[in-house]
Amino acid sequence: MALRCELGELITAMVTPFDKERNVDYEALQRITRHLLSQNNDAIVVAGTTGESPTLTFEEEQEILLCVKSTLSGQAKVIMGAGSNCTQTAIKSSKLAQEAGADAILSVVPYYNKPNQKGMIEHFGAIAKSVDLPVILYNIQGRTGVDMAPETIAFLAKEYPNIVAVKQSNSNLDLISEIKMLAPDDFVVYSGDDSLTLPMLSLGAHGVISVASHVVGNEIKSMIHNFKSGQVIAATNMHKILYPLFKKIFMAPNPTPIKALLSKMQLIENVVRRPLVELDEQDRLDLRECLDSTLAKLNNL
């Protein structure tokens, strides 16, 4: 069955590197983009939560998109985090993403306002009608305060052909079954949590929008391919190896831990914008030990 829009199975929600003065570091941005290509990513999300979007200006978001798109040179797709809790702001961001050449947009459920399901339908419907780009819905109650119901997701998918997927960040896996039962067959579900990727695949998810793929992208891609090709034991074994790292990467507010690892790999500076703060030394050591242990197990496969 053909998908409504093919954006790939492994998508990284990319960090935004900053220099020591907390300005966007465009040289490091190019470096991390090339690194993600080496990690077998099909697409990259820029200016999402992992990219510290609440602290970025419109101008920075556009420059980041243009820099990443130029560096990718068509080798992977680029998706713009264009959501907002203001519908008109989200429309503006979506239009700017389209003008700058994004391949798709990621649009989060409005946060803080706590809209009901009807409000979500009107919000995302207005965004979908404002652009020709594919739209990925982003459902993450832990950050927004409200959950988009499977019935709402399915209605939007049926009503707007360019609403092509949902990034689902919810540990209630019954919701995945309900979305798959209600939505059109060509509508895509992505796991929004690395640790839930394998169980969601078993329920019909297509792939993951990942944070851990900054450092173990090839292994996550292998896990997805093994599962889909019927090598379930191999996929499960890979999940078990990666699981401690999946959890440790969220030991502090995202993207603080993953930035600490990428700094240790000399890809970026270990800098986040306030109100986030960098990991303390003991947490950095614990995180690095977890990565080293994971890599050692992978080397023994």
Stated as kind and residue range, the H or E segment containing 10 is strand 10-13
Catalytic residue, candidates 69, 77, 167, 248 = 167
Beta strands 77-81; 43-46: pairing state: parallel
For Cα atoms 139, 142, 144, give the angle at the middle one, nearest 5 degrees.
60
Q: Which ranges of the chain would DSSP assign to H, the alpha helix?
A: 26-38, 58-72, 87-99, 117-130, 141-144, 150-159, 174-182, 197-202, 213-228, 232-248, 256-264, 281-299
Confidence of residue 1 (pLDDT cuts 50, 70, 90): low
Largest pairwise CA distance in the chain: 52
Q: Over the stretch 277-297, which tens digit does the pLDDT of each residue have? A: 999 999 999 999 999 999 999
Q: In angstroms, rounded to a whole number, what is the distance separating the alpha carbons of residues 167 and 187?
A: 11
Position of tokens 């929004």?
A: 192
Q: Is 10-231 CATH 3.20.20.70? A: yes
240, 224 contact by CB (below 8 A) = no
Token pair belonging to 32: 């991390």
Annotated active-site residue in 92, 112, 129, 138 = 138
Residue type, 80: M
pLDDT digit string, tens, across residues 69-114: 999 999 999 999 999 999 999 999 999 999 999 999 999 999 999 9
pLDDT (tens digit, 9 = 90+) per residue, 116-175? 999 999 999 999 999 999 999 999 999 999 999 999 999 999 999 999 999 999 999 999
- Domain layout of the chain by residue ranges: 10-231
State the first-to-last Cα distance of the chain, in angstroms, to the nearest integer: 34
Active-site annotation holds for 138: yes
Distance CA 58, CA 265 (A): 29
Q: How far is CA 150 from CA 96, 183, 296, in A?
A: 29, 8, 40
Cis before residue 275, ω within 30 degrees of 0? yes
167: annotated active-site residue = yes
48 neighbors 300 (Cβ within 8 angstroms): no
Overall pTM > 0.95? yes
CA dist 195 and 205 (Å) reads: 13
